[in-house]
């Protein structure tokens, strides 16, 4: 979540695991990760030579390695950790070569129409309604505190972990250490995350061997990386702990806070379907993840017509998606950009938006909301 490359590779990896798990025996405890790839539109393929070779040796505790010992010394001098305690922790932790293997797999891109159906489907909509009902008070409080409506918080948690059903089964310590020490291409990033994780567990009074997460170390209902935990996690129920694994209230407040801190604009729209005319629109299709800069009025002058009422001064970016029957066009506003701060992907942001609208319509059961939903939002595949 902190960096695009993390999100990019993380999602690719998660898809690989998903496909692998789907092809093999069913998971005994948790469902396979349900989050597919979300390709970064402009991500250049990495050269072959950068593909990491695994140096992990299963059976050898991380604590017996010289590079880990150097890391422990650094943690002691930098943060005042107790050396003996860290030694004890890393003597019980092991690198996980399966993570390196999955990280090295090539990306598999899905077209939008296939990606969409993973998230905007009856199961995930129903799950969102149930999560909303179970956490209505916290979601209302989060809206009052951070200005983020419940449906967006619910949709993020739905896309990330199917409402907590799939938070990941790896020890976070081992996932981060594997990538910090045995995955040179991203070692600097994951070493920082490992540092943040140890600082976090010390602050929260958690045994570092206890938390579980994705193979990339993403944690809890909203799949926060440790650095995001440090920056955005809140103790929303004021019980003295930021618990994003067992306390959905903390997760709700933390996701809303993440949005708020990344520029969410209360009361402004997220996206609207659009149609295009002429040929000028082509040069305006946004493949970058940048805040929108063209006004609706200016875009209208270039053949781009929003299909829902929008203020002419609202800044927007034109988005193109691969629909089943040809390209679909959308206009994304500032709040659409904010959703891409959670995961650097236009497909991710639109899936969250569409899921949020479908959940909101079903939650309220209101004909008014149902009626204003464009067919393509209300439709489930
Ligand atoms: Ca709490």
CB atoms under 10 Å from CB of 307, counted, come to 14
CA of 220 to the centre of ligand 1 (A): 13
E-strand stretches of 126-214 = 170-171, 212-213
CA of 345 to the centre of ligand 1 (A): 30
Which regions in the chain score pLDDT beneath 50?
1-57, 366-372, 375-376, 378, 381
Residues in the chain: 381
CA of 233 to the centre of ligand 1 (A): 10
What pLDDT, on the 0 to 100 scale, is given for residue 50? 30
CA angle 363, 30, 93 (to 5 degrees): 130
Q: Which residues pair with 323 in a beta bridge?
A: 326
What pLDDT, on the 0 to 100 scale, is given for residue 59? 77
What pLDDT, on the 0 to 100 scale, is given for residue 109? 80
CA of 245 to the centre of ligand 1 (A): 10
DSSP, res 104: T
The CA distance from 339 to 253, in Å, is 16
CA of 235 to the centre of ligand 1 (A): 4
Residues with catalytic roles: 160
CATH code of 60-102+168-260, in short, is 1.10.8.350
Secondary structure class of 12 (helix, strand, coil): helix
CA of 151 to the centre of ligand 1 (A): 21
Q: Which secondary structure element, helix H or strand E, spans residue 221, and what is its range?
A: none
What pLDDT, on the 0 to 100 scale, is given for residue 58? 62
CA of 170 to the centre of ligand 1 (A): 23
- Determine contact, residues 345/7, Cβ cutoff 8 Å: yes
- Please state the domain extents for the chain: 60-102+168-260
What pLDDT, on the 0 to 100 scale, is given for residue 107? 60
The CA distance from 344 to 39, in Å, is 8
Residues with CB under 5 A from ligand 1 (ion): 235, 237, 239, 241, 250
Nearest to 218 by CA among 110, 99, 112, 300: 99
Contacts with 88 (C-beta within 8 Å, 6 or more apart), sequence order: none
List of long-range contacts for 374-377, beta carbons under 8 Å, 24+ apart: 374/273, 374/307, 374/308, 376/273, 376/328
CA of 234 to the centre of ligand 1 (A): 7
CB atoms under 10 Å from CB of 188, counted, come to 10
């Amino acid at each position: 979540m902190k960096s695009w490359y993390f999100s990019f590779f993380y999602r690719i990896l998660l898809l690989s695991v998903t496909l692998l798990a789907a092809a093999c025996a069913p998971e005994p405890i948790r469902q396979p990760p349900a989050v597919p790839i979300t390709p970064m539109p402009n991500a250049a393929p990495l050269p072959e030579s950068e593909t990491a070779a695994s140096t992990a040796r299963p059976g050898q505790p991380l604590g017996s390695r010289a590079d880990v010992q150097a890391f422990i010394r650094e943690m002691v001098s930098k943060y005042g950790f107790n050396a003996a305690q860290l030694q004890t922790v890393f003597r019980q932790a092991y690198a996980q070569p399966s993570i390196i293997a999955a990280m090295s797999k090539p990306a598999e891109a899905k077209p939008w129409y296939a990606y969409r159906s993973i998230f905007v489907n009856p199961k995930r909509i129903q799950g969102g309604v149930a999560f909303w009902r179970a956490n209505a008070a916290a979601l209302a409080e989060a809206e009052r505190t951070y200005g983020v409506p419940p449906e967006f918080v619910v949709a993020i948690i739905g896309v990330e972990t199917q409402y907590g059903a799939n938070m990941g089964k790896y020890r976070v310590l081992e996932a981060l250490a594997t990538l910090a020490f045995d995955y040179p291409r991203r070692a600097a990033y994951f070493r920082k995350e490992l540092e943040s994780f140890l600082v976090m567990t010390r602050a929260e009074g958690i045994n570092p061997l206890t938390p579980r997460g994705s193979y990339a170390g993403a944690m809890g209902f909203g799949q926060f990386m440790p650095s995001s935990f440090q920056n955005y996690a809140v103790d929303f129920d004021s019980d003295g702990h930021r618990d994003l694994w067992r306390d959905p209230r903390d997760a709700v407040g933390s996701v809303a806070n993440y949005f708020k801190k990344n520029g969410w604009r209360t009361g402004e729209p997220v996206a609207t379907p659009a149609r295009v005319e002429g040929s000028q629109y082509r040069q305006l299709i946004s493949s970058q993840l940048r805040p929108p800069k063209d006004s609706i009025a200016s875009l209208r002058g270039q053949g781009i017509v929003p299909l829902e009422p929008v203020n002419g001064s609202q800044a927007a970016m034109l988005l193109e998606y691969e629909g089943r029957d040809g390209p679909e066009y959308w206009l994304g506003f500032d709040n659409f950009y904010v959703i891409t701060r959670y995961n650097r992907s236009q497909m991710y942001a639109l899936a969250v938006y569409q899921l949020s609208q479908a959940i909101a319509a079903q939650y309220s059961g209101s004909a008014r909301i149902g009626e204003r939903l464009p067919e393509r939002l209300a439709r489930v595949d």
